[in-house]
Amino acid sequence: MSFEYLSDASGRPAWDGVLPGRPTPFFLEAGSGEHAKLFGDHFTVMLSGDETDGQFGMFMATCPPGEVIPAHTHADTHETFFIVEGAVRVFLETPEGEIDKLLEPGDFGFVPNGYKHAYRVEKQSRMLGVATGGFERFFQHMGTLADAIDPASPPYVPDFPRMGAAAQRHHMEFHPQHRWENQ
């Protein structure tokens, strides 16, 4: 599957021009960035691998209560969770066993690549994420582009081919049969 739906008439990415696309100083007003909707979550990319020479990307996730991101692993992406508001429960499988950790405002979590993890949004939340450069595009590839943060907009549920193509492109594997002890 290709991602033509993310291109404008000239073939350039639809979000082209929102961020500088190269390492240069810049500023964003509150709520600005590249927006995407995935399930009930709204993602705003504020910094991409294009601006950091591929080192990292930064995004804000605005998530409704009850949203569950299923068990998955990243082959080459390190992922962070910093809770700005709300509460998010992170599930993580380590060699020592499963961890179930509730993160609240000001709390931080880090999941290195290769670790199976999932999360559930316990309260309306905003999470700041920093990940290995390029992964921030996952939300645009799997979700749908949005003009702005609109919590009232309906959820966007991608079809399985789109989910699979986005996961493959970003070296991610879902584990739909995995069940957490406390989930």
What's the whole-model pTM score? 0.87
Map out the domains of the chain as residue ranges.
36-168
Q: What is the 8-class DSSP label of residue 33?
A: S
Give, for all 183 residues of the chain, the pLDDT tens digit.
444 445 555 555 555 568 999 999 999 999 899 999 999 999 999 999 999 999 999 999 999 999 999 999 999 999 999 999 999 999 999 999 999 999 999 999 999 999 999 999 999 999 999 999 999 999 999 999 887 777 778 999 999 999 999 999 999 999 988 887 766
What sign does the dihedral 144-137-129-102 (CA atoms) show?
Answer: positive
| 125, β-bridge pairs | 63
Distance CA 77, CA 82 (A): 16
Give CATH for domain 36-168.
2.60.120.10
Amino acid residing at 41: D
